[in-house]
Protein backbone atom coordinates (compact mmCIF):
# COMPACT_ATOMS: atom_id res chain seq x y z
CA UNK A 1 0.00 0.00 0.00
CA UNK A 2 2.70 2.42 1.06
CA UNK A 3 4.91 1.39 -1.84
CA UNK A 4 2.17 1.89 -4.39
CA UNK A 5 1.36 5.33 -2.96
CA UNK A 6 5.00 6.31 -3.24
CA UNK A 7 5.08 4.90 -6.74
CA UNK A 8 2.08 6.92 -7.90
CA UNK A 9 3.57 10.01 -6.25
CA UNK A 10 6.79 9.46 -8.16
CA UNK A 11 4.82 8.96 -11.37
CA UNK A 12 2.92 12.19 -10.76
CA UNK A 13 6.14 14.13 -10.17
CA UNK A 14 7.54 12.65 -13.34
CA UNK A 15 4.49 13.74 -15.33
CA UNK A 16 4.58 17.22 -13.83
CA UNK A 17 8.22 17.68 -14.68
CA UNK A 18 7.85 16.33 -18.23
CA UNK A 19 4.79 18.31 -19.30
CA UNK A 20 5.57 22.04 -19.09
CA UNK A 21 2.53 23.89 -17.77
CA UNK A 22 3.79 27.20 -16.43
CA UNK A 23 3.53 30.34 -18.51
CA UNK A 24 7.31 30.81 -18.48
CA UNK A 25 7.49 27.84 -20.84
CA UNK A 26 5.35 29.66 -23.40
CA UNK A 27 6.86 31.08 -26.55
CA UNK A 28 5.31 34.44 -27.55
CA UNK A 29 4.46 34.87 -31.24
CA UNK A 30 2.19 37.07 -33.30
CA UNK A 31 -0.26 35.96 -35.98
CA UNK A 32 -0.90 38.31 -38.88
CA UNK A 33 -3.91 37.76 -41.11
CA UNK A 34 -3.51 39.47 -44.46
CA UNK A 35 -5.37 39.37 -47.75
CA UNK A 36 -3.48 39.82 -51.03
CA UNK A 37 -6.65 39.27 -53.08
CA UNK A 38 -8.93 42.02 -51.73
CA UNK A 39 -6.41 44.11 -49.73
CA UNK A 40 -8.76 44.21 -46.75
CA UNK A 41 -7.15 45.51 -43.54
CA UNK A 42 -4.47 43.40 -41.91
CA UNK A 43 -5.10 42.00 -38.45
CA UNK A 44 -2.43 41.08 -35.95
CA UNK A 45 -2.92 38.97 -32.84
CA UNK A 46 -0.56 38.05 -30.03
CA UNK A 47 -0.54 34.52 -28.72
CA UNK A 48 1.76 31.88 -27.28
CA UNK A 49 2.84 28.46 -28.26
CA UNK A 50 4.17 25.82 -25.88
CA UNK A 51 7.96 25.46 -25.84
CA UNK A 52 8.81 23.42 -28.97
CA UNK A 53 5.05 23.22 -29.62
CA UNK A 54 3.50 23.20 -33.07
CA UNK A 55 1.81 26.15 -34.77
CA UNK A 56 -1.66 24.61 -34.84
CA UNK A 57 -1.58 24.60 -31.01
CA UNK A 58 -1.01 28.36 -31.00
CA UNK A 59 -3.84 28.86 -33.50
CA UNK A 60 -6.22 26.81 -31.33
CA UNK A 61 -5.19 28.75 -28.23
CA UNK A 62 -5.74 32.06 -30.03
CA UNK A 63 -9.14 30.90 -31.27
CA UNK A 64 -10.18 30.01 -27.71
CA UNK A 65 -9.00 33.31 -26.22
CA UNK A 66 -9.98 35.72 -28.99
CA UNK A 67 -13.53 35.89 -30.38
CA UNK A 68 -12.24 37.74 -33.46
CA UNK A 69 -10.00 34.93 -34.65
CA UNK A 70 -11.36 31.70 -36.09
CA UNK A 71 -9.84 29.10 -38.35
CA UNK A 72 -10.69 25.74 -39.84
CA UNK A 73 -8.42 23.14 -41.35
CA UNK A 74 -8.76 19.79 -42.97
CA UNK A 75 -6.67 16.73 -42.53
CA UNK A 76 -4.77 15.63 -45.61
CA UNK A 77 -3.75 11.94 -45.52
CA UNK A 78 -0.21 12.69 -46.72
CA UNK A 79 0.48 16.29 -45.79
CA UNK A 80 -1.38 16.55 -42.48
CA UNK A 81 -3.56 19.46 -41.44
CA UNK A 82 -3.76 22.42 -43.80
CA UNK A 83 -5.60 25.72 -43.42
CA UNK A 84 -9.03 25.82 -44.99
CA UNK A 85 -10.41 29.12 -43.72
CA UNK A 86 -9.41 32.03 -41.50
CA UNK A 87 -11.94 34.42 -39.97
CA UNK A 88 -14.70 32.85 -42.05
CA UNK A 89 -12.93 33.28 -45.39
CA UNK A 90 -12.17 29.99 -47.13
CA UNK A 91 -9.77 29.14 -49.90
CA UNK A 92 -11.72 28.25 -53.02
CA UNK A 93 -10.49 25.83 -55.67
CA UNK A 94 -12.52 27.31 -58.53
CA UNK A 95 -11.44 30.83 -57.65
CA UNK A 96 -7.84 29.58 -57.20
CA UNK A 97 -7.57 31.15 -53.75
CA UNK A 98 -5.83 29.59 -50.76
CA UNK A 99 -4.30 30.44 -47.39
CA UNK A 100 -0.54 30.71 -47.67
CA UNK A 101 1.67 30.21 -44.61
CA UNK A 102 4.63 32.58 -44.26
CA UNK A 103 6.89 33.34 -41.32
CA UNK A 104 8.64 36.62 -40.63
CA UNK A 105 11.74 35.69 -38.66
CA UNK A 106 13.18 37.98 -35.99
CA UNK A 107 15.84 39.12 -38.49
CA UNK A 108 12.90 40.48 -40.58
CA UNK A 109 13.35 37.93 -43.36
CA UNK A 110 10.10 36.34 -44.48
CA UNK A 111 10.27 32.66 -45.30
CA UNK A 112 7.81 30.10 -46.63
CA UNK A 113 8.13 27.07 -44.32
CA UNK A 114 8.31 23.77 -46.16
CA UNK A 115 5.96 22.20 -43.60
CA UNK A 116 2.37 23.01 -42.66
CA UNK A 117 0.61 24.24 -39.51
CA UNK A 118 0.72 20.76 -37.97
CA UNK A 119 4.51 20.52 -38.17
CA UNK A 120 5.88 24.04 -38.01
CA UNK A 121 7.49 24.85 -34.63
CA UNK A 122 7.51 28.63 -34.08
CA UNK A 123 10.44 30.38 -32.43
CA UNK A 124 9.99 33.20 -29.91
CA UNK A 125 8.80 36.52 -31.35
CA UNK A 126 8.25 35.24 -34.86
CA UNK A 127 5.38 36.64 -36.85
CA UNK A 128 3.26 33.95 -38.47
CA UNK A 129 1.62 35.36 -41.60
CA UNK A 130 -1.59 33.78 -42.86
CA UNK A 131 -1.98 35.26 -46.30
CA UNK A 132 -5.05 34.83 -48.49
CA UNK A 133 -3.60 34.54 -51.96
CA UNK A 134 -4.20 33.39 -55.51
CA UNK A 135 -2.22 30.84 -57.49
C1 LIG B 1 -0.70 44.21 -44.98
O2 LIG B 1 0.63 43.83 -44.73
C3 LIG B 1 1.40 43.58 -45.91
C4 LIG B 1 2.77 43.10 -45.50
O5 LIG B 1 2.68 41.86 -44.88
C6 LIG B 1 1.49 44.86 -46.71
O7 LIG B 1 2.21 44.61 -47.92
C8 LIG B 1 0.08 45.32 -47.06
O9 LIG B 1 0.15 46.56 -47.74
C10 LIG B 1 -0.77 45.47 -45.82
N11 LIG B 1 -2.15 45.71 -46.22
C12 LIG B 1 -2.88 46.69 -45.70
C13 LIG B 1 -4.28 46.80 -46.23
O14 LIG B 1 -2.45 47.46 -44.87
C1 LIG C 1 -16.16 28.98 -54.74
O2 LIG C 1 -16.34 29.97 -55.72
C3 LIG C 1 -17.38 29.69 -56.65
C4 LIG C 1 -17.33 30.74 -57.75
O5 LIG C 1 -17.31 32.05 -57.22
C6 LIG C 1 -18.70 29.68 -55.89
O7 LIG C 1 -19.77 29.39 -56.75
C8 LIG C 1 -18.62 28.61 -54.79
O9 LIG C 1 -19.80 28.65 -54.01
C10 LIG C 1 -17.42 28.83 -53.91
N11 LIG C 1 -17.28 27.68 -53.03
C12 LIG C 1 -17.13 27.84 -51.71
C13 LIG C 1 -16.95 26.58 -50.94
O14 LIG C 1 -17.15 28.93 -51.16
C1 LIG D 1 13.11 44.70 -38.15
O2 LIG D 1 12.23 45.74 -38.55
C3 LIG D 1 11.84 46.60 -37.47
C4 LIG D 1 10.77 47.55 -37.97
O5 LIG D 1 11.04 47.98 -39.27
C6 LIG D 1 13.09 47.30 -36.91
O7 LIG D 1 12.72 48.12 -35.82
C8 LIG D 1 14.07 46.22 -36.43
O9 LIG D 1 15.27 46.85 -36.00
C10 LIG D 1 14.40 45.25 -37.54
N11 LIG D 1 15.20 44.15 -37.01
C12 LIG D 1 16.29 43.67 -37.63
C13 LIG D 1 17.00 42.54 -36.94
O14 LIG D 1 16.69 44.13 -38.68
Rg (CA), the chain: 18
Nearest ligand 2 atom, CA 95: 2
Nearest ligand 2 atom, CA 93: 1
Task: Tell me the average pLDDT across 90-111.
Answer: 96
CA dihedral sign, ordered 87, 31, 114, 75: negative
- For the chain, give every domain's residue range: 27-134
Q: What percent of the chain has pLDDT over 70?
A: 81
Q: Is pLDDT larger for residue 54 or for residue 7?
A: 54
Task: Give residue 31's pLDDT band: very low, low, confident or very high (50, 70, 90).
Answer: very high
Instruction: Report residue 47 CA to chain centroid gap.
Output: 9
Best substitution site from 92, 99, 134 to test ligand 2's pocket, by max atoms within 8 Å of Cβ? 92
Which protein residues are within 6 Å of ligand 2, measured from CB? Answer: 90, 92, 94-95
Instruction: Judge whether residue 45 has pLDDT over 90.
Output: yes
pLDDT of residue 26: 87
Contact 103, 84 (CB under 8 A): no
**27-134 has which CATH code?**
2.170.130.30
Rounded to the nearest angstrom, the distance between the alpha carbon of 83 and the centre of ligand 1 is: 20
What are the CA-CA distances from residue 48 to residues 45, 121, 128 (Å)?
Answer: 10, 12, 11
Alpha helix (H) ranges present in the chain? 2-18, 55-65
Which protein residues are within 6 Å of ligand 1, measured from CB? Answer: 34, 39, 41-42
Rounded to the nearest angstrom, the distance between the alpha carbon of 58 and the centre of ligand 1 is: 22
Rounded to the nearest angstrom, the distance between the alpha carbon of 90 and the centre of ligand 2 is: 9
Amino acid sequence: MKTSALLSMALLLLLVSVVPTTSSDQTPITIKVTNAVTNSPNKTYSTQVAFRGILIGALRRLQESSPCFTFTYSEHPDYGPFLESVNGLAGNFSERTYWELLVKKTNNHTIRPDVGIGCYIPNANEQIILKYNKY
